[in-house]
Amino acid sequence: MNPSSQLTQIPIRIIKEQELIIGPLAWEEASRVSGLVIDQSRNSVSFSGDGKDVIDRLVTQYERIFGKASHAVCHEAVQDIVSQMPPDEVPSSLK
Amino acid sequence: MLNNDSSIVSPEEYKKITEELYKRNLELATLYKQVDSLNKELGVANENLRNVIKQRESLEHLITHKVKGAFTRSKYIFAGILDGTFGEISPEIKKIAKQGLDSDDTGITTVDLILNVANMQKGIVKYDMKTVDLKEIALKIINEKKDSAEEKGIKIESEIGDDTYNVSGDAFWLKEVTNNLIDNSIRYTQKGGITVRLQKHDDKVLITIKDTGIGINEEDKKHLFTEGGRGQGSTRINVDSTGYGLYSVKLIIEAHKGRVWAESLGADKGSTFYVELPAV
């Protein structure tokens, strides 16, 4: 899998993990993140702009409302994806 | 922002509450994942169990149609040899044919026992519950077993009063129970005797079968009424022990809302088997 397709997997994984905890609010909050284009019916996302920055904004969006615990949840949810990515491709919030 | 008592909640407090709620939800989500994971494991275990049950049913089918069929066919061949269907036979052949017939009978009895246990476990044995006098059953079995016991030099005595010992039960299966217990006592008693006693206590009827046989050691007691539970003592005396006889007794008695148990002071000190059933 190339780094850009790995990157698009990350937001979906994070949103779904947050959905387990806060329900539909997870999708609502994600839709507020600029540069993140969500197609919930297809479970897919795309970025307008730099993907790494968009993911950082998504993590921050959750953390701003729900605190550090939500950051840890984001981090944990994508561990297996991140571990296979080149370090410079990993969004800073998930390092 | 307002809280329940209509006082204003500061943004800091609101954030604190939201974060606390998130943590609670996270704990619940973690528990949910654990339960989900256990459910999946349970699903796999159930699937494995279903496969084991299918294999067992297939084995029962094989036993019923193939093994029992084979025993039955050879039984009729031996019986034919003995009754002269195939012409005159020498005393030596007659002796061998008799041994073959006895061996087939043992095989058929064993297969029937295992199939009966399987049917009892599946709950498909229908008990024809009627008022049954245990005295009639006990005396009949004692009478049937007297000769084989005397051949071994063992005396069977009965201590049964003139009273009736009525219980609600299926006469066929209660006969199987009594037969099994007395048979066992004869098999595992080398010298001395067997006493069959019937007593009434309050609203119960108690059958006691006491022998002077090999007894039961503490280790064997643990496996006595379990499925396939063959004790060291039993296999020493009876190499053909299936371990299903006493288990079937337990299943039958429990289906009659009674209980069965055994006592022994140890190896070579005899055994006493008790069956207690509700009196009617």
Q: Which of chain B's residues have a Cβ under 8 Å away from the Cβ of A70?
A: 22
Inter-chain CB proximity B26 and A65 less than 8 Å: no
- Choose the weakest-confidence range: B50-59, B109-118, B168-177, B231-240: B231-240
Q: In the structure, what pLDDT confidence band is assigned to residue B106 with cuts at 50, 70 and 90?
A: confident
3-state SS class at B54: helix
Inter-chain CB proximity A65 and B29 less than 8 Å: no
Q: In the structure, what pLDDT confidence band is assigned to residue B65 with cuts at 50, 70 and 90?
A: confident
B23: contact with A, CB 8 A cutoff:
yes
Q: How much is the pLDDT for B231?
A: 66
CA angle B236, B238, B243 (to 5 degrees): 100
Burial class (CB in 10 A: 0-12, 13-18, 19+), B60: middle
The whole-chain average pLDDT of chain B stands at 89
Structure tokens at B49: 């169990």
Closest residue to A21, CB basis, from B18, B19, B25: B25
The average pLDDT across B14-27 equals 94
Task: Identify the CA nearest to B277 among candidates B144, B131, B136, B128.
Answer: B131
Q: How far is B28 from chain A (nearest CA, A)?
A: 8
Q: Which of chain B's residues have a Cβ under 8 Å away from the Cβ of A68?
A: 19
ipTM for the assembly: 0.87
Q: How far is A68 from chain B (nearest CA, A)?
A: 8
Count Cα atoms within 13 angstroms, Cβ side, for B164. 8
Q: How much is the pLDDT for B202?
A: 84
Q: What single DSSP character describes residue A42?
A: G
Task: Identify the CA nearest to A51 among candidates A89, A94, A13, A19.
Answer: A89
Q: How much is the pLDDT for B9?
A: 85
Do the Cβ atoms of A21 and B26 come closer than 8 Å? yes
Q: Distance between CA B271 and CA B206 in Å, rounded?
A: 16
Q: Does B1 have pLDDT greater than 60?
A: no
Inter-chain CB proximity A66 and B18 less than 8 Å: yes
Structural domains of chain B, ranges and CATH numbers in brackets: 1-125 (no CATH), 130-278 (3.30.565.10)
Please give the residue of chain B at the shortest CA–CA distance from A25. B22
Q: Distance between CA A50 and CA A87 in Å, rounded?
A: 16
Task: Identify the CA nearest to B60 among candidates B123, B118, B108.
Answer: B118
Do the Cβ atoms of B244 and B172 come closer than 8 Å? no
- Give tens-digit pLDDT for B129-159: 999 999 999 999 999 999 989 999 999 999 9
Inter-chain CB proximity B19 and A69 less than 8 Å: yes
Please give the average pLDDT of every successive group of 10 residues along chain A, which has 95 residues: 79 95 94 93 89 96 95 96 93 95
Pinpoint the alpha helices (H) of A23-90.
25-31, 51-66, 68-77, 79-82
- Put simply, whether the predicted model's pTM sits higher than 0.90 gets the answer no
Cα separations (Å) of B118 from A5, B28, B69, B122? 57, 44, 18, 6
Which of the pair, A31 or B61, is modelled with greater confidence? A31
- Choose the weakest-confidence range: B18-27, B57-66, B229-238: B229-238
Q: In the structure, what pLDDT confidence band is assigned to residue B257 with cuts at 50, 70 and 90?
A: very high
B26: contact with A, CB 8 A cutoff:
yes
Closest residue to B29, CB basis, from A20, A67, A68: A20
Q: How much is the pLDDT for B233?
A: 63
Task: Identify the CA nearest to B262 among candidates B232, B229, B222.
Answer: B222
Q: Distance between CA B13 and CA A63 in Å, rounded?
A: 16
Q: How much is the pLDDT for B23?
A: 96
Name, in order, each residue with C-beta under 8 angstroms of A38's C-beta and a sequence gap of 6 or more. Answer: A11, A15, A27, A30, A31, A44, A45
Contacts 24+ apart (CB under 8 A), B151-155: B152/B186, B152/B189, B152/B190, B153/B191, B154/B186, B154/B189, B154/B191, B154/B192, B154/B193, B154/B194, B155/B192, B155/B193, B155/B194
According to DSSP, the residues that pair with B272 across neighbouring strands are: B210, B263
Separation of CA B145 from chain center: 22
Q: Distance between CA B270 and CA B213 in Å, rounded?
A: 4
